[in-house]
Amino acid sequence: MGDLDTSLILDMIEEGVIVVDTHQNIVLYNKSARIFFGLENISSIHHPAGRIEPGDWVILGDNCMGMDDGKLTSQDLQLLGVKEEVAPGERIVVIGRYKTPETVPVFARTPASQKLKPLSVERTLDHGETVKVSVDEFRRRVDITLGSQDLGMDLFYSIGHMVVLDGKTGQLKFYQARGFTARSEEAAALLRGKPFVGKGPGEHYPEPVGHAMTDIHPEIRQVKSMEHILAGRIEHSGPEEMPINGLWVSLSMQAMKDRAGRILGCVLMFKDMTAIKRTELQASASKYKFPAFEKVQGTSAALLSVLNLAQRAAGSDSTVLLLGESGTGKSMVAKLIHACSPRKDMPFVTVNLPAIPGELLVSELFGYEEGAFTGARRHGQKGKISLAEGGTLFLDEIGEMALDLQSKLLHFIQERTYFPVGSNKPVHSNVRIIAATNQNLEEAVAKGKFRLDLYYRLNVISLTLPPLRERREDIEDIVRDILPEIAGTAGKRHVDLSHQVVELLKAHSWPGNVRELRNVLERAINVCEGNLITTQDLPAYMKSNPMVGNLNLKEALAQAERSTIVRAIEEADNHRGKAMKLLGLGRTAFYKKLKEYDLGS
């Protein structure tokens, strides 16, 4: 295989990896760690390196004065014209002009005791653009908007977020981004004259390799385990959860030795826990209760574990990725999360990605500009994002999205803005994203079929819904819940199941999950002669159980065909295209068989 480049291999690992030598100097820093700590320039919004100059407009939002802002003080705020004394821990929003005392700033403050009340100010600048800054403790976010462009940042415990506009032209001069503490770009430091690095295409962030670990990540000084590992007292430690550079991580460490057993350094491995911790904080502060989740039938540990996390996600505003086989209830959980969220009174809009041809998906999502098209296309047709404004956009089967469209979705999620078809004017959007797929996205990333950066953006809170075969104890509860509804639709007041049918339902593997179960019950209710469903009312493929008796040839062939399709889907990891190839079936024939055997669509 030749010589392997270790750094390239480590760049393929999802966890952040940093290697330090015995002097605690960084010798390797993988891609995931750079992205997590903000030392990889992935922004599409450009500004060159520079520093704040007199007359520049400074927009600042700080949810806790003195924390994660470079120890910002009232003296620093005086540079923006703020004359009030601000105590440490207070929340502030300010739009002021740097070292220009004749310009009176727009300023507001609240004590720490009023954290859940949003705080915001806005101002129309000399060049005509309206800017706004707001601190929303529940959403754990500081938003800074320039017209329709949102340059906001999520926060964990605390953040001092700042944007700077050129005082002469009004153009964007600086914006903070993830990793500002690792780049030493805290608000206080920049107000005191420290230069900032450039961002966006063509700009490069500082290289961490060669620097002392404590220079890039000062909190490491508090982690004594690394010193013990480098001194040979212990070989490993962790995982341990802690904040580093304002981000919450799970940190594990391992000694790195040569063949003779001598200590060469220490390997630090990080997992991003920020989204989960933010969700816990939001849920603990939320006034919302979630009785809607009680309607979900089932008491299995596998189900309750997922629903518990889903309730916590409902109380937050983070992006959610729902994983699981077809028919496990991903769309139902998405609706529950929305219905129990602060956005519950706003729209819930579903985009079924496989059902929309690729060439139409852009217009379906982003809509058309007013007056940009004529003929069959309506003027100013709204896209799904616009229809979901203020609410939730549910992207179903995200794994089916083409690569070229993934980049457009990534830009929207990153910047919270989009361009309607035919327009060059960005539109700001405030929607929450919930995505779902039955595919293995990590495998799709490895094969180059799904963008890694989009996967990171979607995989903030990940929920994997268990298949029905892993919670068989819930089947009877589910049946009792949905049976009256199906019976009523069929015009029957009451329908019951024989004991043998119940046992068959509990013994079946249910590759189509709850959707297949519903289809089986619907068929049985419509074909049964009385009010009792017996084994004779079940589909042929379910009668292969020894309890049922002998099968005729037609039933045996149907069962064999169904089993083959199920096996192909499993071997293809639920990827429909792969399963078609394994079976040698065309698309139409394949989906016809899925419908015939109640395997979902």
Residue 556 confidence class, pLDDT cut points 50, 70, 90:
low
CATH 3.30.450.20 residue spans of the chain: 6-39+209-272
3 state SS of 413: helix
**pLDDT exceeds cutoff 60 at 548:** no
- Return d(Cα 202, Cα 45) in angstroms, integer: 11
Q: How far is CA 138 from CA 44, 84, 316, in A?
A: 28, 26, 8
**pLDDT exceeds cutoff 60 at 205:** yes
CATH of domain 471-596: 1.10.8.60
Give the per-residue pLDDT at 398: 94
Q: Shortest CA distance to 331 belongs to which of 316, 349, 358?
A: 349
Read off the tokens for 554: 């037609």
Asked if 251 and 238 touch (Cβ cutoff 8 Å), the reply is yes
Query: Using alpha carbons only, what angle is made at residue 536 by residues 534 and 538, rounded to the nearest 5 degrees?
Result: 85
Q: Which fold has domain 6-39+209-272?
A: Beta-Lactamase (3.30.450)
Q: Provide φ and ψ at 134, rounded to 5°.
A: -140, 150
**pLDDT exceeds cutoff 70 at 375:** no
CATH 1.10.8.60 residue spans of the chain: 471-596
Name beta bridge partners: 320: 434, 461
Beta strands in 171-214 (DSSP E): 172-175
Give the per-residue pLDDT at 155: 78
Tell me: domain 286-464, CATH 3.40.50.300, correct? yes
Specify the pairing of strand 320-323 against strand 432-437.
Answer: parallel
Read off the tokens for 112: 């720490």
**pLDDT exceeds cutoff 60 at 141:** yes
Give the per-residue pLDDT at 2: 43
Read off the tokens for 350: 């579903």
**pLDDT exceeds cutoff 60 at 162:** yes
Asked if 368 and 414 touch (Cβ cutoff 8 Å), the reply is no
Asked if 446 and 485 touch (Cβ cutoff 8 Å), the reply is no
Residue 1 confidence class, pLDDT cut points 50, 70, 90:
very low
Q: In the block, which residue shows the tokens 């013994």?
A: 507
Q: How far is CA 377 from CA 12, 224, 598, in A?
A: 44, 65, 37
**pLDDT exceeds cutoff 90 at 395:** yes
3 state SS of 601: coil
Give the per-residue pLDDT at 189: 92
Residue 174 confidence class, pLDDT cut points 50, 70, 90:
very high
CATH 3.40.50.300 residue spans of the chain: 286-464
Give the per-residue pLDDT at 351: 93
Give the per-residue pLDDT at 446: 87
Residue 384 confidence class, pLDDT cut points 50, 70, 90:
very high
pLDDT one-digit tens code per residue, 2-19: 444 566 767 777 788 999
- How many of the other CB atoms lie within 10 Å of CB of 553? 7
pLDDT one-digit tens code per residue, 19-74: 999 999 999 998 888 888 878 877 778 899 999 999 999 999 998 888 888 889 99
488-508: average pLDDT: 84
Question: In which element (H, E) is residue 553 found?
Answer: helix 553-571
Beta strands in 397-458 (DSSP E): 417-418, 427-428, 432-437
* b/e code 221-234 from CB counts within 10 Å (16+ = b): eebebbebbbeeee
Read off the tokens for 231: 């001194």
pLDDT one-digit tens code per residue, 566-587: 777 877 777 777 888 778 787 7
Q: In the block, which residue shows the tokens 């906001």?
A: 152
Query: Using alpha carbons only, what angle is made at residue 587 by residues 586 and 589, rounded to the nearest 5 degrees?
Result: 65
- How many of the other CB atoms lie within 10 Å of CB of 459? 18
154-163, 401-410, 457-466: which range is least confident on average? Answer: 154-163
pLDDT one-digit tens code per residue, 303-333: 877 887 888 888 888 899 999 988 898 999 9
Read off the tokens for 248: 């919450």
Mean of pLDDT over the chain: 83
